[in-house]
Amino acid sequence: MSLAKAWDVAYVRFRAPDLGRMRTFLADFGLVDAQSSPDRLFMRGYGSAPFLHATELGDPGFAGFGLMVQPEELERLAAHDKTAIMPLDAPGGGRIAKLIDPDGFVVEAVAGQVPVPALPLPPRVAWNESGVYDRLSKLRRVPNRASHIIRLGHVVLLVSDFRRSEAWYKERFGFLTTDEIRTEEQAGFGGGAFMRCDRGATPTDHHTLFVLQMPPGPAFFHSAFEVTGVDDLLAGHDHLLAAGHTPQWGVGRHILGSQIFDYWKDPYGHEIEHWTDGDQFIAADPSSLASLQELMGVQWGMRLPSHHAAP
């Protein structure tokens, strides 16, 4: 039995020396102002989460991420890891227990955040495809604009010992393995797992956390944000290009998880992903084994660039 069953990932935290520069990128990426001060920046999406991305003033770096748990689970986690429960000083409030994973990553178990009203989205437009023409007497016009981020979907970490990290996260947060990456005869590669939340019969994303033992780990790899659809993702791609930001990998469709993806770099080198149309599973669905080639492959679209270690 795990100490908790994480419901979802709540937010990611970073440090940056210029909050204005980070805000400009994040707004072009599709996030919206939630709260700011001279030394902290909080950005939200169009969903009900009070914030999804936090940046504090400082040297560039990854500062941790939050996982949603129930209040009673927060108590168990804090007692088990001998850490204090503190107020979450951020939009939405709530309480956190700050845990440290085996590689030193900060993981904030968070409970009691107050949702905010969702922001209005453009109306959905039906598709005409495969002989089913649901859009009648209506034109499809996609404005040149930033994507509309709905929520944070997952975090990817490169770790020093895959089995140790897998056990740590499963013991505390009840993650289930969707796909385990088989160990290959490759220097430094020690396997990995796409892990999803255990929501019982309620569907959840293919993965909320992916841990992979691979150089140059341990290191943050990327965070991924869901957008409203394919047009929204592609319009956002063009918007980011026009604004002069750095593309990393995409557009394409993953094999594992099936997401249509588009990866970028923020101004301080942190990888950040737009995605849409990912796989959904329930707790009863079995785990699978997958290869490194499937991990790095695509069903269609841009192949993995040589400078990019893994998805």
| DSSP letter string, 163-177 | HHHHHHHHHHH--EE
Distance, CA of 205 to CA of 81 (rounded, Å): 27
* Count of Cβ atoms closer than 10 Å to residue 47 Cβ: 17
pLDDT (0 to 100) of residue 183: 75
Residue 138 CB burial class (10 angstroms; 0-12, 13-18, ≥19): exposed
Query: Interior CA angle at 17 toward 15 and 22, to 5°?
Result: 75
Whose structure tokens read 């309480």? 95
Residue range 45-64, pLDDT digits in tens: 999 999 999 999 999 999 99
CA 276, 277, 281, 286 dihedral sign is: negative
Contacts of 287 (CB under 8 A, 6+ apart): 176, 177, 178, 179, 180
* Count of Cβ atoms closer than 10 Å to residue 251 Cβ: 18
The amino acid occupying position 50 is P
pLDDT (0 to 100) of residue 187: 57
pLDDT per residue, tens digit, the chain (311 aa), is 899 999 999 999 999 999 999 999 999 999 999 999 999 999 999 999 999 999 999 999 999 999 999 999 999 999 999 999 999 999 999 999 999 999 999 999 999 999 999 999 999 999 999 999 999 999 999 999 999 999 999 999 999 999 999 999 999 999 999 999 987 666 568 899 999 999 999 999 999 999 999 888 899 999 999 999 999 999 999 999 999 999 999 999 999 999 999 999 999 999 999 999 999 999 999 999 999 899 999 999 999 997 665 54
* Domain boundary assignment for the chain: 9-115+148-301
Question: Comparing C-alpha atoms, which of 56, 57, 54, 73 is closest to residue 65?
Answer: 54
Distance, CA of 112 to CA of 280 (rounded, Å): 26
Whose structure tokens read 């520069």? 21
Residue range 210-261, pLDDT digits in tens: 999 988 889 999 999 999 999 999 999 999 999 999 999 999 999 999 999 9
User: Bridge-partner residues for 133, per DSSP?
Assistant: 128
Distance, CA of 166 to CA of 26 (rounded, Å): 31
Whose structure tokens read 């089913």? 132
pTM, two decimals, is 0.96
Residue 213, helix vs strand vs coil: strand
CATH number of this structure's domain 9-115+148-301, picked from the four choices 3.90.1150.10, 3.10.180.10, 3.40.50.1100, 2.40.50.140: 3.10.180.10
Decide if 166 contacts 152 (C-beta within 8 A): no
